[in-house]
Structure formats: C-alpha cells, structure tokens
C-alpha cells in the first residue's frame, strides 16, 4: 500500500505525470512530497507527523497530451467526500508507450482508468474484454478491473445523451459534424434514442462514410451541411479546443437553414475547454440554445465513478469542478446548473 501524508495532499490539484515518471516510481510517489532530509543530533525535534492517508485503490487517466484534464479533480473529490481510500492520478503516455503502460497498469493492480485522446481505440486490443457498447462505438473511455482481467467500457454515450433527455427525439433531425471517437459515441447515443434522422459530415468527405453505415446515419457532403434543417447540430471535431484550434469552428450559423418547426435549434459542442468555444459563441449570437461539453464531461465521469465504486458521484465533485472553472474565468461566476443554456 501507499502511505501518503495528508499534509501534502492537495484536494483540488491535477496530478499529472509524464512518461519519464515510471508508474512504480515518481508517478506513485507524487502525493508524498519530498523525501525527508537527515537531521543532526543537535537539530530541534521534527514536528509531529500528519495523519497518513493510505490509498488502497489506484485509478487514473491516460492520454497524450494531458495538461488540462479535470478528471483528477472530479474523481479525487468524489473519493474524499465518500471517505474512500482511493487515489486518481494522471499519466501522459505517448502512443508508442501505450502497450508498456497497459502492462504496468496490470502489474500495479490499477482498479480503473479513464481513457482519452488518442488512446480510445488503440487500447481496445490490449484489454481482456470490452462491453457491447464499447464494441459498437469502436472506442473505450473507461477501463474496469474484474479480478485479474481488464474490461473496456464506454460511458461517453451515457454522458452525451444526458443533456438531451428532454428532447422529442422522434421529431428531431440532428446534424453531426466529425467522425472520430467522440462522433462514434454521439452517433451510438443518437441511434439509441432513435432521433428521426442523423446526418453526418466531415471536411474530408470520406471519413464519415463508415460511421454512417455503422449507425444508420445519412452521409452528407461537407459543402451541404448548412442545408440541413436540423434541430440539433453537434460538433464532435476538435475545432474550438483550447490551443491552436481555439478560434476555429466547423459551422457558420448565419448560413444555417432553420428547423422545420418553430422550436429554437440547439448547438451541442463536445469540447469542454474552453467552456464557450467559438462554435457556441457564434450559436449564442445567432439566437440558438447551447449545450457545452462540460455537461457531457460531468455525466460520463459520474458514470465511470459508479462503474468503479458502485456509488453515486457526490455533488461535491461536480461542485469542485465548477468552482475551479469559475475561479479561472472559464464559466460564468454564477456557475449555472442548467445543462442547456437558452438563447434568451
């Protein structure tokens, strides 16, 4: 077991380790602070030691890169709120080290993993089994341990659908932009809810064809995407993500055809950092309702937590994420709980 001083255990810090930190070395000693130095007999006595936090279960997130993930904050807050002796770390693992990482996770008895870009598909053949939902989406975002076996799951589908629970699916057309792992989770969820028609388009006019066939979507030429009278437009591309793509968007709302009915259409961005991407900002200015990727992130994380612990993610966990984002100025200070922000 890992003895960890609570004095050195930040409750709201992201604990991220790069490839140079071995799982058995610095990565697992990240909570414990620096090693104590030797003391001469004449030195004053050391202060009493803080009570030790002893995690007996190890969890974490694997991705590349991994600088801005909020997952450690979300899950560690949940563990602490419930008094669970568990810790959740972050591992920055490049694609060429993924196989070695999977072997290390087995060796160290890691109980659960969150999986993010670019490993959601590549990790699948390294696992002992995958759920039907993960197989259908062609991606895993969650790994659970069953004894000495690792099982892949996909909670992105659950997370994606959560903000859409009140929609009249049978009378709503959807336009899905993108064809990667996030798009497959969205397509699987839309098919599960039986939305009337789902159109899918990508800039390459090629990569979406197989996705359309797998999930019964209507393939669409990229140049025709604004002609669809969609009630929901979903951005599953990385356009708008913080960094080089922050000022990019896959959709021009000024060119968008209005839905067939009188309902205000909804723009759904699967990117959660920044909270308001250019896609969502343009949607707001055009009078659309908006769903940010933060809603999906919180819902898929709650589903992961339940898979690992059998417990509901406590509200303190979501609260900690919102406080962090508010403090950073990334979401409005009132931190609205509503998953769909209205045009008004």
Radius of gyration of the chain (CA): 22
- What gap in Å lies between CA 93 and CA 283, rounded to an integer? 35
Task: Answer for the pair 63, 19: CB distance below 8 angstroms, yes or no.
Answer: no
- What gap in Å lies between CA 76 and CA 7, rounded to an integer? 16
Q: Which residues are catalytic?
A: 120
Q: For 17, phi and psi rounded to 5 degrees?
A: -130, 140
Q: How far is Cα of residue 184 from the mean position of the Cα atoms in its chain?
A: 14
Name the helix (H) or strand (E) containing 181: helix 181-193
Bond before 118 cis per omega within 30 degrees? yes
Which candidate, 155, 98, 100, places its Cα nearest to that of 124?
98
Residues whose CB falls within 8 Å of the CB of residue 327, separated by 6 or more in sequence, listed in order: none
Task: Answer for the pair 192, 161: CB distance below 8 angstroms, yes or no.
Answer: yes
- Edge-to-edge strands, sheet with 57-63: 16-17, 86-92, 57-63, 112-115, 142-146, 149-153, 129-130
Name the helix (H) or strand (E) containing 79: helix 71-82
- What gap in Å lies between CA 226 and CA 23, rounded to an integer? 48
């Amino acid at each position: 077991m890992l003895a960890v001083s609570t004095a050195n255990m930040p409750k709201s810090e992201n604990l991220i380790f790069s490839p140079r930190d071995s799982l058995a070395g610095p990565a697992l000693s990240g909570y414990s602070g620096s090693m104590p130095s030797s003391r001469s007999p004449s030195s004053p006595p050391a202060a009493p030691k803080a009570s030790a936090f002893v995690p007996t279960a190890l969890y974490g997130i694997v991705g590349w890169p991994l600088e801005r993930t909020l997952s450690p904050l979300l899950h560690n807050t949940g563990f602490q709120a419930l008094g669970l002796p568990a810790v959740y770390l972050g591992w920055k693992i490049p694609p060429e080290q993924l196989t070695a990482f999977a072997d290390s996770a087995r060796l160290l008895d890691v109980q659960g993993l969150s999986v993010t870009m670019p490993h959601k598909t590549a990790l699948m053949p390294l696992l002992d089994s995958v759920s039907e939902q993960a197989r259908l989406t062609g991606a895993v975002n969650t790994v659970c341990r069953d004894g000495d076996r690792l099982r892949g799951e996909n909670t992105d589908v659950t997370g994606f659908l959560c903000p859409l629970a009140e929609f009249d699916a049978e009378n709503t057309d959807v336009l899905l932009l993108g064809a990667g792992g996030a798009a497959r989770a969205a397509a699987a969820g839309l098919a599960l809810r039986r939305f009337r028609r789902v159109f899918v388009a990508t800039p390459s006019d090629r990569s979406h064809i197989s996705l359309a066939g797998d999930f019964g979507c209507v393939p669409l030429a990229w140049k025709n995407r604004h002609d669809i009278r969609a009630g929901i437009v979903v951005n599953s591309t990385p356009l708008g993500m913080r960094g080089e793509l922050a000022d990019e968007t896959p959709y021009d709302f000024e060119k968008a055809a209005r839905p067939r009915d009188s309902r205000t259409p909804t723009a759904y961005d699967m990117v959660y950092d920044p909270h308001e991407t250019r896609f969502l900002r343009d949607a707001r200015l055009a009078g659309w309702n908006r769903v940010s990727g933060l809603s999906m992130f919180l819902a898929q994380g709650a589903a992961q937590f339940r898979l690992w612990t059998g417990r509901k993610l406590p509200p303190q966990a979501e609260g900690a994420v919102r406080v962090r984002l508010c403090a950073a100025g990334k979401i409005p200070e009132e931190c609205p709980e509503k998953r769909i922000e209205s045009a008004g």
